[in-house]
């Protein structure tokens, strides 16, 4: 329940180094009512409208201006379906491509699961540009060597606010190391390597799995145990 899109945007607000686009959940039924709720909330266009409970961009669209709110009618939804509406922040890189990083948080450590480089802003696994695997391979070493020390405190704070020991964060990370949040939850595809081995993700997945096993074997380090012990309860 802590990781609904609107709740995450509230919980992770004002973390240094992290930009969290504002997100609201809209239960209004008519297009006019949806537009009114967005206006009242003060969201800045363009916005992303997504049917609550949908994934993989199947019921997602970008609405550029208030005059285009009628386009939401093309989404696969009925009047009883809620919408998530999120301010869209452009994250195009200097090379005119878009990058979606999946960072895995395990306890107080972080790991790069992948970085999909695509030609457009709506990025999923099959959108990876054909000539980018060498860049992605180099990115794993860069992340561990240079980025991790700078980024770890931000992701630790995300973990503390969500109260999770193991979860994923989809985001963009620009060259100065600023993070733009897409989503954060414990339901991401992390340990399953969806490409035939050998491939560039074998090593990262193995490191993540090893770190998770080690963390699971150390219950005194789990967040909920520390919190209960601090409050005077006995950890289980």
Note the pLDDT tens digit of each residue in 166-182. 999 999 999 999 999 99
What average pLDDT score do residues 34-39 get? Answer: 95
Q: What does the pLDDT look like over 191-219, one tens digit per residue? A: 999 889 999 999 999 999 999 999 999 99
Q: What is residue 233's predicted lDDT score, i.e. its pLDDT? A: 55
Distance CA 177, CA 74 (A): 37
One-character DSSP codes across 76-145: S--TT--EEEEE------TTS-EEEEEEEEETTEEEEEEEEEESSSS--GGG--TT-HHHHHHHHHHIII
Residue pair 85/38 in contact (Cβ under 8 Å)? The answer is: yes
pLDDT at 42: 97
As a whole number of angstroms, the distance between CA 12 and CA 22 comes to 10
Residue 57's pLDDT is 61
If DSSP codes are grouped into helix, strand and coil, which group holds residue 39?
helix
Closest residue by Cα to residue 205 from 136, 127, 104, 116 = 104
């Amino acid at each position: 329940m802590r990781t609904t899109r609107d709740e995450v945007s509230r919980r992770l607000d004002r973390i240094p180094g992290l930009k969290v686009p504002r997100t609201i959940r809209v239960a209004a039924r008519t297009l006019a009512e949806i537009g009114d709720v967005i206006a009242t909330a003060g969201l800045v266009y363009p916005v992303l409208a997504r049917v609550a409970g949908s994934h993989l961009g199947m019921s997602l669209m970008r609405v550029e201006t208030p005059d285009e709110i009628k386009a939401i009618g093309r989404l696969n939804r009925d009047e009883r379906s809620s919408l998530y509406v999120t301010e869209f922040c452009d994250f195009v890189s200097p090379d005119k491509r878009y990058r979606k990083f999946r960072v895995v948080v395990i306890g107080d450590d972080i790991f790069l699961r992948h970085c999909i480089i695509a030609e457009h802003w709506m990025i999923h696994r099959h959108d990876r540009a054909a000539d980018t695997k060498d860049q992605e391979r180099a990115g794993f070493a860069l992340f561990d060597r240079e980025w991790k020390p700078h980024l770890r405190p931000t992701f630790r704070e995300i973990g503390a606010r969500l109260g999770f020991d193991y979860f994923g964060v989809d985001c963009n990370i620009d060259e100065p190391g600023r993070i733009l949040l897409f989503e954060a939850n414990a339901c991401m595809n992390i340990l399953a390597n969806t490409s035939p081995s050998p491939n560039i993700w074998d090593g990262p997945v193995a490191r993540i799995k090893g770190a998770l096993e080690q963390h699971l074997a150390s219950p005194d380090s789990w967040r909920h145990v520390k919190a209960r012990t601090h409050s005077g309860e006995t950890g289980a």
